[in-house]
Structure 1
Amino acid sequence: MTPAPSRLRDLPAVVAGIAATVLGAGLGELAAALVAPAASPFAVIGGAMIDLAPAWAKDLAIDLFGTGDKAALLVGIAVLLLVVAGVAGALENRRPPWGRVVLAGLGALGAVVSMTRADAGLLSPVPSLIAGAGAAVVGALLIARLRRPPRRSVADGAPSDEGVTRRGVLALSGVAVMAGALAAFGSVALSGGARAISAVRSALRLPSPATTTTVPDAADLGIDGLSPVITPSADFYRIDTALVVPQVDPATWTLRVHGLVEQEVVLRWDDLVALPQKETVATLVCVSNEVGGSLIGTARWLGVPIRDILARAKPTDEADMVLSRSVDGFTASSPLEALTDDRDALLAIGMNGEPLPLEHGFPVRMVVPGLYGYVSATKWVSELEVTRFDRAEGYWTPRGWSERGPVKLQSRIDVPRAGAQVAAGDAVIAGVAWHNHVGVAGVEVQIDDGPWQPATLASAISADTWVQWSLPWDATTGSHTVRCRAISADGSTQTSDTAPPAPDGATGWDETTVSVA
């Protein structure tokens, strides 16, 4: 019988390495669900990759996958893990015990990384250690069967021991994969913490606001395809660094205000909800939002003005920044003046008439109009450290982003969509414009290379929200290029200079091509 090519001889070992790793990963996720939900091996490694990613990598991920960037990262980690597992299987087959050393080493790496996370506990290394040990042991056992010398030779066409062994190992590998999948599904079923916090949120009743913001009827132009004035919570963009949504019980939540203050303040949930609540409407924008992008939304927010909390602590004269911290370790550096001036910067507990969704920061998050989210919109907030920009940095500043992030004047075309086909005759061009905490005074539209035409603005809710705009259009047959630019309440006109999101927000005019038939 002709010996199998070297690569084919390694194939069962590669499959065995992958199967062992799938089983180990499933066991690790199951262990995390039982003893340390925040220390899921995938979440730990993924979180570390997010922390180490440079600004350009973050931008690329959001450009390619939008709000699905976390799912894409997890898929990427899984693919990379399977490749390493396959290589480890071949290595174990050729040079034992180095394959199992690689698999055990992956678990040890995960355990070490888990201890560096802000929410690390004594049991945080356990899931990764179980994953690595499980993969190493199962991989070694499967591949050891492959390495057994055949006890008889091939005769009269009968299958060799080697062939029988390979089929047996492949079958056992399939069993290992199924066991790993069942363990992973079991981890989801046992995630009682998430279900418990969801139940707490569902039973929670928000206090009535002492003051509210009215949304004028004329704020919505009622044009099909135009972004609604108030973004439904389910459609609100989500960009953050949390692969696993933190599960924070309001009963145990606290907020500590400290640093350059005369009096340290600690608030509990009952303390916060007992204070006068303010309901406001504000637009939030992600700094990664490209020109014409969708990483922006407007919601009704309920909460306590941050300036009232800071007034209790009495910041000293030397302070100029507040470093907010999330329970998962994320930090944002907000200018102190943006939290203490007349804008409605809130410690928000409600969104669109309901408690904050878990993924949007339940039970408490920050909402600061006029600043990009990376320097202000801390979710699951647990700490406000009053400090200085020359003494501390937020999460994204050392990664290449500017330390202060005022939202830039921008506008976007919603109708007609890019590439849309429009019937000749009466049509409409419409969109939204924003210059948070400054306001929008007008929007102009250019069709092809014609003159700029003033659009009609809807009634603005406030300077802290976007505003809808529209322009009637007598559409003629052919292909047309449509552009828009906004005029700020301070008299400035949106720049045509194009710039990427990094380091402090994208600039340029939104442009779309429309076919008219």
Structure 2
Amino acid sequence: MADARGRGAERARVQDGWLAAAAGAVAAVLGAGLGELSAALIAPASSPFAAIGGALIDVAPSWAKDTAIAWFGTADKAALLTGIALVLLAVAAVAGLLERRRPPIGLAIAVALGVVGAAVALTRADAGALSWLPSSIAGATMAVSLRMLLRLLPATAERSDDAPPTTPDRPSEIDRRRFLVWTGGAAAVGLVMVLGATLVSGGSRAVAAIRAALRLPDPAVAAPPVPAGAELNISGLADVITPNDSFYRIDTALVVPQIDPADWSLRIHGMVENEVVLTWDELVALPLEEGYATMSCVSNEVGGTLIGNARWLGYPIRELLARARPMADADMVLSRSIDGFTASTPLEALTDPDRWSILAVGMNGEPLPLEHGFPVRMVVPGLYGYVSATKWVVDLEVTRFDRATAYWTDRGWSERGPVKLQSRIDVPRPGQGLSAGDTVIAGVAWQPHVGISRVEVQVDDGPWEDATLATAISDDTWVQWSLPWRATAGRHVLRCRATNALGETQTSEVVGVIPDGATGWHEFPVDVF
């Protein structure tokens, strides 16, 4: 009998622990929901998740970021937020258990989470006067709701071993049911508030509406028509012009900055003779130019998809720098985003009359999408984005490489990032089975600001064969290519290599993305049946 009572008491303690942990997790959901909703109403950038996530991005080593991009690609931010949520739930569950067994440790953990979130939010580059408030609300809500939920736990969970057993109609069972009802309701309310925060973000809706109503001026210099032979129209081959909704996105912003063009301005300063400040109205009143340029991320592995080609509308940066008159010993421009991101661009790349480096306001015939830098970003053909493609740009500081560093160069990447000669096979795809017979091998090749003159394909260890190049839009864009292939049954290895307009052939040396971009031939096996 005593053993039975002991086992019953142990089961009661275990059950009590699970219920306390559940109370902690639900309290965290409720707190996070109210914190996110308050951030959406105050300022999206003050979101507790965004503040913590942004701080984690800033302190994470390069290998961790590269791993995240390699694993999740453009879904890296969603993966990070999911990870933060899971860690928060785990910590909150522990807080609930500790508050039940060792009060007030759990409440202290809840308050500490709010304090940490508030402190981190205040350190962000785009912090406002009330940036601390949403995280504080989240922490306080978690603490209060945790305390209230734990008070609903049935007292029989802590009864002694010789206490009489309970029956379903006894108060302990009634209390347990009431606890489950309240925790379920609190969890539902928290999730609804998280969803509501996404739907009612005032700043996001307002700027999106402004963008939708915006009409950009016609370019003073229009882009030439895309050559008829630029698009090979092969199924599975990347479009020569990447649609906006398919264009890769790699940046450090968990919450997309919301900038009203009426509030935007650009300051050019530093080692200049004449400081320049430019407003949106002044920028779009200038003779804008339109053209095509391919952009790629330095984290793009050989054969990767972190690359796209678009028609951009903007104004040459060299013209604005000419107004500012950089000093003779300056060699770098440190661009800064409104969220604090920085990039170090060689001054010569921005002043070169033969390189079409622009402050872009349009992408594929419409204003820049919010996630691609609306209202203004930089586009510099031939340089990886981490040293040139600053989105939501608000500041250009003319300086020197030996005086200033940027976000990624502080994390071990090279200070200059010319795009390396690359080619990729799109058709067939790795792992795709093929039927024996006539088919095609096709892909794209690129080295913006240099151009492509040749692409070769090798099947197994056979001879290199010249592929047919599509007509390139310009030296600043990628080019499609194709090669007919009579596939025979068995496993075959396909590989490709490109030659640029200077006669340089793509190296076979396999190098990872750090510190200045990957190299090697794109190759993979295909099975033919």
Is TM-score (shorter-chain normalized) higher than 0.5? yes
Report the equivalent of 1:192. Answer: 202
1:219 partner SS: coil
From 437, 461, 483, the equivalent of 1:471 is 483
> Does residue 410 of structure 2 align to residue 398 of structure 1?
yes
Indicate how the Cα distance of structure 1 residues 155 and 418 shifts in structure 2: closer, same or farther if over 3 A, else same: closer
Per-residue Cα deviation, 1:21-54 (whole angstroms, up to 9, x for no partner): 1000011011111222210001111111111111
Per-residue Cα deviation, 1:363-414 (whole angstroms, up to 9, x for no partner): 0000000000011110011000111111111111111111111100000001
**Whole-Å separation in 1 of the counterparts to 2:315 and 2:205:** 27
Indicate how the Cα distance of structure 1 residues 483 and 190 shifts in structure 2: closer, same or farther if over 3 A, else same: same
Indicate how the Cα distance of structure 1 residues 146 and 469 shifts in structure 2: closer, same or farther if over 3 A, else same: same
> Does residue 495 of structure 2 align to residue 495 of structure 1?
no
Counterparts of 1:314-353 in structure 2, within 5 Å, are 314-341=325-352, 342-353=354-365
Contact 1:54 1:400 in 2 (8 A): no
Contact 1:255 1:266 in 2 (8 A): yes
From 445, 453, 457, the equivalent of 1:433 is 445
> Does residue 97 of structure 2 align to residue 90 of structure 1?
yes
Report the equivalent of 1:4. Answer: 10
Report the equivalent of 1:43. Answer: 50
Contact 2:510 2:520 in 1 (8 A): yes
Per-residue Cα deviation, 1:101-131 (whole angstroms, up to 9, x for no partner): 0011011000000001111111000000000
Contact 1:23 1:134 in 2 (8 A): yes
TM-score, normalising length: structure 2: 0.95
Q: Give the aligned residue type for 1:41.
A: P
Contact 1:460 1:467 in 2 (8 A): yes
Q: What is the RMSD of the two structures over their aligned residues, measured on CA atoms?
A: 1.6
Contact 2:43 2:203 in 1 (8 A): no
From 228, 241, 255, the equivalent of 1:217 is 228
Contact 1:154 1:160 in 2 (8 A): no
In the TM superposition, residue 164 of structure 1 has moved relative to its aligned partner by 3.5
Contact 1:418 1:514 in 2 (8 A): yes
Report the equivalent of 1:79. Answer: 86
**Whole-Å separation in 2 of the counterparts to 1:507 and 1:239:** 20
In the TM superposition, residue 155 of structure 1 has moved relative to its aligned partner by 5.8
**Whole-Å separation in 1 of the counterparts to 2:443 and 2:205:** 39
Q: Give the aligned residue type for 1:477.
A: A
Report the equivalent of 2:274. Answer: 263
Indicate how the Cα distance of structure 1 residues 516 and 156 shifts in structure 2: closer, same or farther if over 3 A, else same: closer
Indicate how the Cα distance of structure 1 residues 155 and 206 shifts in structure 2: closer, same or farther if over 3 A, else same: closer
Report the equivalent of 2:246. Answer: 235
**Whole-Å separation in 2 of the counterparts to 1:21 and 1:427:** 56
1:28 partner SS: helix
> Does residue 26 of structure 2 align to residue 19 of structure 1?
yes
Per-residue Cα deviation, 1:404-451 (whole angstroms, up to 9, x for no partner): 111000000011111222232221111100111111111111000101
Report the equivalent of 1:458. Answer: 470
**Whole-Å separation in 1 of the counterparts to 2:168 and 2:303:** 68
Moved more, 277-286 or 5-14: 5-14
> Does residue 121 of structure 2 align to residue 114 of structure 1?
yes
**Structure 2 gap ranges (5+):** none
> Does residue 435 of structure 2 align to residue 423 of structure 1?
yes
Contact 2:154 2:175 in 1 (8 A): no
> Does residue 257 of structure 2 align to residue 246 of structure 1?
yes
Moved more, 218-227 or 311-320: 218-227
Moved more, 141-150 or 221-230: 141-150
TM-score, normalising length: structure 1: 0.97
In the TM superposition, residue 163 of structure 1 has moved relative to its aligned partner by 3.9
**Structure 1 gap ranges (5+):** none
2:395 partner SS: strand
Contact 1:114 1:120 in 2 (8 A): yes
